C-alpha cells in the first residue's frame, strides 16, 4: 500500500495562507514544494551519482549524506556511488562550489523525487549540499519501508549569512563537540560558524608567533593550529564558513596573562574566573599594541581562509583608560573627546591591519563609526534599529539581538525575531540588501561540553528557519511540530541534547530511579535573561560545577507548553471532552504524587535537596488545581477566601527557586481562576 500524499503548492505571496502548511517535516521550510502521488523507496540498493564538474567538498558531503542516511534508516549504505543511469539519486551541479566558500555564493537547488528515482540540481556544489539535507529530512519510515515522498522542491535562502556563534572562552568546548554542532548546523542549512576564540576567561588558539597567549591564557585548553585546520576543513565539507573572533580592545584579560605590556594598566594579569564586564583593555595609544596585532592578525589571517575577520569591539568600560595619564594625554593631543572616540581610533587602526591582511572586518555594534570604510560588517546585539542606522550609512549588518540562545528563551520568541522587522522594515530595497542575515549566539558562562548541545538544539533550528525560509513562514504550531521531529533527526548526528538528559538526572538523583526527578525536570526551566548570576547561591566562576537541575533542565519545557495548550483549550470551552479533563487530571495527579516519591530520596543527594522546594510547590499547586477541577465539574464555585488563598500560593510558586522556574504555574492559575468565575465554563459529561 502506498501512502496517499497530498498535492500542495505553498502559496508564498500571501502570509495568510502559511497556517495551512503541507504535512512536511522539512525544517527550514523550502521556498516552494509540491507533493505528488507515491514515494521513492529506500533499500539496501539505494545509490547516488554526482554529475557535473569535480567538486571535492560535494563529494565529501555526499559521503556524509550516505553515513547519515545509514544511521537514520539502519540500512548499510557506505558510499554507494553508481553511474547516473542506474543511480537512485542523481546530483547534478553546474559548477563546483568555491574552494574557499564565499558570502553570497548561490545556495539554491531543485529537488525532484519520483517513484523511480530522484534528481537534485543546483547551480553550485553548495546548493547541492543544501538539497542533500532536504532529501535526508524527506526520508521516513512508511508502511512499505523507508521512503521519500514524490515531491518537487525549489529552494534558496532568504539571507546569505546564517550563523551560529559559540563562545569557547568562558568554557572551553572541545573540537569533537564543535564538530557535531557543525553537523547540526548543516542539517538546518546554516552556513557560518562564528568562533569566539578569546575573551577575559581564556585565549583558546595556538599562536606560533606569540605562544604565551595560549600557554598562559588557556589553562591548557586551546586548539592547536592543526586542529583549527581540521575544523575548517570539516566545516567546508558541510558548506559552512568559519569566521574567527578575537575580541579587542576589551574582553581581553586572557591576552594580558602572557603579554601584560598590551594592557592599559600595569600587570601582572591572570585569567579572569568570574563573569561580567571587566576593566582590562588594550592600550590603544602605544604603537607596540599595533605592531603586536599586525603580527598576530597576520598569523591568524593565514590560518583562517574566510574573507571576514571579527575583532569584537564590545563593552569597553574605559576605566583603565581613564586611570592612565599617558592615555589621557594621548586623547588630548589627538583631539579625541571621549573613550568612544579613542576606541574608534583603535578600530580604525585595527581595520587598516585587517585590510592589509586581505580580510574584511566585522565587529559588534560599538564599532560603528562613519570614519570606517563601508565594507565592514556590524553585528548587532542591540537590535534592528542599529542595523537600520548602519544600513542607511552604507554598512552591512547581521542581527544577533533576539538570537542569544543563552538567555533561555522559548523557541517561538527567537522565531518571532526578524532581521527585517521594526526599524529595518522601513529600509529601501538597496539598503535592505545590506542586512546579510543573523547569528544565533551561544555565550558560554553556563554551558559545558556536557550540556551545550541542549542549549543550542533544537531551538537554533527555529532561528535557522527564520534566516532561510521566506519571511511569510510564521506558523508557530507548525514550527513546534517540525522542531520536535528535527530534534530527533539531530540525534543521528551524535548531538547529545536528548541523550544527556537522563544521565544528568541520574547524577542529580544519585540513583537509577529517576522517575520523580524527571517528572519535576520536565516542567521546569532555568531562570531567564541575565538573572542566573544574581539568583545564584554563590558567586559563579568558571570552576563552578554545572551539574545542578538548572543545568540539566531544558531551556524550554515541552511538557509545560503542551499542558498549557491543553488547559487553554479547556478553559476557553474549545475542548471540554472527558478525555481532555482526564488528561488534565492525570497530569495533575502525577505532579502531586511525584513529590511523595521525591521526598523519600532527598537524603541521597545534595543536588536533589536543593530542588525539594520546587517539587513541593508543584505538588501543592497541582493539588489545588485538582480541587479547582472538582469545583468546575460539580458546577459549584469555591469560596472567595479559598481562591484568594490559592492566588497567594501561586504567586509563591511562580518565584524562582534553585534558579528554576515552574512552567506550569500559569496554566494551573488559569484552572483556578476558571473555577472562580460566577458561571463555570461549559462542562460536558
Alpha helices in 287-364 (DSSP H): 287-303, 319-322, 325-333, 339-356
- Site for its own copies contains 215 (CB under 8 A): no
Q: Which of 227, 282, 229, 228 is closest to 254 using CA atoms?
A: 282
Does the footprint of its own copies cover residue 450 (CB under 8 A)?
yes
Site string for its own copies, 549-588 (x = CB under 8 A): --x-------------------------------------
290 contributes a contact to its own copies by CB under 8 A: no
Which C-beta is closer to its own copies: that of 295 or that of 593?
593
- Geometric angle at alpha carbon 34, from 32 and 39, rounded to 5°: 130
| Cβ atoms 615, 595 nearer than 8 A | yes
CB-CB neighbours of 413 under 10 Å: 14
Out of 274, 357, 506, 518, point to the residue binding its own copies (CB under 8 A). Answer: 506
CA distance 483 to 489: 10
Q: Is 683 in the site for its own copies (CB under 8 A)?
A: no
Task: Give helix then strand counts, H and E, for the chain.
Answer: 25, 18
487, 557, 656, 675: which one binds its own copies (CB under 8 A) = 487
607 touches its own copies (CB under 8 A): yes
Whether 439 is catalytic is: no
Among 604, 623, 627, 673, binds its own copies (CB under 8 A): 604
Nearer to its own copies, 257 or 486 (CB): 486
The one among 47, 448, 568, 583 contacting its own copies by CB under 8 A = 448
Least distance in angstroms from the C-beta of 537 to its own copies: 13
CA distance 268 to 332: 28
How far is residue 281's CA from residue 272's CA, in Å, rounded to a whole number?
13
The Cα–Cα gap between 662 and 444 comes to 24
The least CB distance from residue 18 to its own copies, in Å, is: 23
Q: Which residue, 311, 336, 261, is CA-closest to 291? A: 261
Please tell me whether residue 59 binds its own copies under the rule CB under 8 A.
no
Give dist(CA 659, CA 496) in Å, integer.
23
Applying CB under 8 A, the span of 103-111, 152-160, 213-221, 423-431 interacting with its own copies comes to 213-221
Q: Is residue 491 a contact residue for its own copies (CB under 8 A)?
A: yes
Q: Is 325 in the site for its own copies (CB under 8 A)?
A: no
Q: Which residues are paired to 397 by β-bridges?
A: 378, 435
**Interface with its own copies (CB under 8 A), residue from 605, 616, 643, 666:** 605
The full length of the chain comes to 685
Specify the residue, 474 or 605, whose C-beta has the smaller distance to its own copies. Answer: 605
Cis check: omega of the bond before 28, within 30 degrees of 0: yes
> Is 226 an interacting residue with respect to its own copies (CB under 8 A)?
no
- Looking at the Cβ atoms of 603 and 651, the one nearer to its own copies is 603
Query: What backbone phi and psi angles, to 5 degrees, belong to 497?
Result: -60, -30
Of 206-214, 276-284, 392-400, 498-506, the segment contacting its own copies by CB under 8 A is 498-506
537 burial type by CB count under 10 A (0-12 exposed, 13-18 middle, 19+ buried): exposed
Give the shortest CB-667-to-its own copies separation in angstroms: 21
Among 73, 444, 615, 659, which residue sits at the site for its own copies (rule: CB under 8 A)? 73
- The verdict on 142 binding its own copies (CB under 8 A) reads yes
Binding residues for its own copies, rule CB under 8 A, total 51
Q: How far is the CB of 493 from its own copies (least distance, A)?
A: 11
Query: Measured in whole angstroms, how far is the alpha carbon of residue 132 from the centre of its chain?
Result: 22
Can residue 268 be called a binding residue for its own copies (CB under 8 A)?
no
Which of these is catalytic: 215, 299, 315, 472? Answer: 315
Which span (142-150, 210-218, 380-388, 649-657) binds its own copies, by CB under 8 A?
A: 142-150
- Nearer to its own copies by C-beta: 31 or 601? 601
Q: How many CB atoms lie within 10 A of CB 648?
A: 9
Residue 296 contacts residue 336 (beta carbons within 8 Å)? no
Per CB under 8 A, the list member of 76, 85, 641, 648 interacting with its own copies is 76
Min. distance of Cβ 570 from its own copies in angstroms? 21
Site string for its own copies, 534-553 (x = CB under 8 A): --------xx-xxx---x--
Integer CA distances (angstroms), 644 to 386, 572, 636, 665, in order: 46, 22, 16, 15
Based on the shown chain and the rule CB under 8 A, indicate whether residue 75 belongs to the binding site for its own copies: yes
| Angstrom distances, CA of residue 490 to CA of 136, 440, 494, 497, 679 | 11, 17, 7, 9, 48
Task: Please enumerate in sequence order all residues whose Cβ is within 8 A of that of 291, keeping only pairs 6 or more positions apart, or say none.
Answer: none
Q: Give the residues lining the site for its own copies (CB under 8 A).
A: 1, 3, 44, 71-76, 78, 140-145, 219-221, 448, 450, 484-485, 487-488, 491-492, 498-499, 502-504, 506-508, 510, 512, 542-543, 545-547, 551, 602-609
Query: Residues with catalytic annotation?
Result: 315
Amino acid at each position: 500500500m502506498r501512502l496517499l500524499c497530498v498535492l500542495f503548492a505553498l502559496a508564498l505571496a500571501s502570509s495568510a495562507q502559511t497556517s495551512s502548511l503541507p504535512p512536511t517535516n522539512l525544517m527550514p521550510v523550502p521556498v516552494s514544494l509540491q507533493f505528488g502521488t507515491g514515494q521513492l523507496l529506500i533499500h539496501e540498493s539505494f545509490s547516488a551519482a554526482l554529475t557535473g564538474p569535480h567538486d571535492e567538498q560535494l563529494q565529501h558531503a555526499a559521503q556524509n549524506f550516505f553515513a547519515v542516511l545509514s544511521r537514520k534508516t539502519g540500512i548499510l549504505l557506505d558510499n554507494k556511488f553508481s553511474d547516473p543511469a542506474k543511480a537512485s539519486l542523481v546530483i547534478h551541479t553546474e559548477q563546483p562550489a568555491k574552494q574557499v566558500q564565499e558570502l553570497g555564493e548561490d545556495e539554491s537547488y531543485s529537488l525532484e523525487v519520483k517513484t523511480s528515482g530522484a534528481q537534485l540540481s543546483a547551480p553550485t556544489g553548495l546548493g547541492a549540499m543544501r538539497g542533500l539535507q532536504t532529501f535526508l529530512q524527506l526520508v521516513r519510515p512508511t508502511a512499505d519501508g523507508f521512503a521519500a515522498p514524490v515531491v518537487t522542491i525549489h529552494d534558496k535562502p532568504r539571507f546569505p549569512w546564517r550563523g551560529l556563534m559559540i563562545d569557547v572562552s568562558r568554557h572551553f568546548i572541545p573540537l569533537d563537540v564543535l564538530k557535531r554542532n557543525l553537523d547540526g548546523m548543516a542539517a538546518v542549512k546554516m552556513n557560518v560558524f562564528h568562533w569566539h576564540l578569546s575573551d577575559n576567561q581564556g585565549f583558546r588558539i595556538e599562536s606560533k608567533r606569540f605562544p604565551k597567549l595560549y600557554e598562559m591564557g588557556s589553562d591548557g585548553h586551546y586548539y592547536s593550529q592543526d586542529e583549527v585546520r581540521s575544523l575548517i576543513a570539516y566545516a567546508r565539507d558541510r558548506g559552512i564558513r568559519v569566521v574567527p573572533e578575537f575580541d579587542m580592545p576589551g574582553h581581553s584579560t586572557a591576552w594580558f596573562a602572557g603579554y601584560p605590556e598590551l594592557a592599559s594598566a600595569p600587570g601582572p594579569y591572570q585569567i579572569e574566573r568570574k563573569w561580567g564586564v571587566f576593566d582590562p583593555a588594550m592600550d590603544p595609544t602605544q604603537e607596540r599594541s599595533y605592531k603586536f596585532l599586525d603580527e598576530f592578525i597576520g598569523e591568524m589571517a593565514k590560518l583562517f581562509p574566510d574573507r571576514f575577520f571579527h575583532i569584537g569591539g564590545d563593552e569597553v568600560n574605559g576605566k583603565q583608560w581613564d586611570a592612565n595619564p599617558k592615555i589621557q594625554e594621548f586623547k588630548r593631543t589627538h583631539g579625541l573627546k571621549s573613550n568612544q572616540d579613542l576606541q574608534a581610533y583603535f578600530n580604525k587602526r585595527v581595520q587598516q591591519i585587517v585590510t592589509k591582511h586581505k580580510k574584511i572586518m566585522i565587529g559588534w555594534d560599538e564599532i560603528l563609526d562613519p570614519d570606517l570604510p563601508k565594507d565592514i560588517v556590524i553585528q548587532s546585539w542591540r537590535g534592528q534599529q542599529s542595523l537600520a542606522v548602519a544600513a542607511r550609512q552604507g554598512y552591512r549588518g547581521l542581527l544577533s539581538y533576539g538570537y542569544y540562545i543563552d538567555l533561555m528563551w522559548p523557541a517561538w520568541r527567537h522565531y518571532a525575531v526578524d532581521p527585517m522587522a521594526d526599524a529595518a522594515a522601513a529600509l529601501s530595497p538597496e539598503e535592505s540588501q545590506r542586512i546579510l542575515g543573523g547569528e544565533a549566539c551561544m555565550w558560554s558562562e553556563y554551558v559545558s561540553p556536557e550540556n551545550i548541545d541542549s542549549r543550542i538544539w533544537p531551538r537554533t533550528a527555529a532561528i535557522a528557519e527564520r534566516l532561510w525560509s521566506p519571511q511569510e513562514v510564521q506558523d508557530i504550531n507548525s514550527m513546534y511540530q517540525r522542531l520536535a521531529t528535527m530534534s530527533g533527526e539531530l540525534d543521528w548526528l551524535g548531538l547529545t541534547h536528548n541523550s544527556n538528559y537522563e544521565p544528568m538526572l541520574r547524577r542529580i538523583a544519585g540513583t537509577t530511579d529517576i522517575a520523580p526527578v524527571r517528572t519535576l525536570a520536565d516542567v521546569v526551566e532555568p531562570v531567564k535573561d541575565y538573572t542566573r548570576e544574581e539568583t545564584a547561591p554563590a558567586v559563579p566562576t568558571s570552576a563552578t560545577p554545572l551539574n545542578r537541575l538548572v543545568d540539566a533542565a531544558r531551556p524550554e519545557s515541552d511538557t509545560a507548553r503542551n499542558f498549557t495548550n491543553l488547559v487553554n483549550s479547556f478553559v476557553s470551552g474549545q475542548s471540554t471532552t472527558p478525555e481532555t479533563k482526564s488528561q488534565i487530571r492525570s497530569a495533575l495527579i502525577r505532579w502531586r504524587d511525584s513529590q511523595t516519591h521525591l521526598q523519600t530520596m532527598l537524603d541521597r543527594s545534595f543536588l536533589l535537596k536543593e530542588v525539594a522546594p520546587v517539587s513541593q510547590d508543584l505538588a501543592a499547586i497541582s493539588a489545588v488545581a485538582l480541587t479547582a477541577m472538582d469545583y468546575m465539574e460539580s458546577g459549584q464555585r469555591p469560596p472567595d477566601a479559598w481562591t484568594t488563598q490559592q492566588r497567594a500560593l501561586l504567586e509563591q510558586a511562580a518565584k524562582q527557586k534553585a534558579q528554576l522556574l515552574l512552567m506550569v504555574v500559569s496554566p494551573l492559575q488559569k484552572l483556578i481562576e476558571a473555577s472562580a468565575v460566577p458561571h463555570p465554563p461549559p462542562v460536558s459529561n
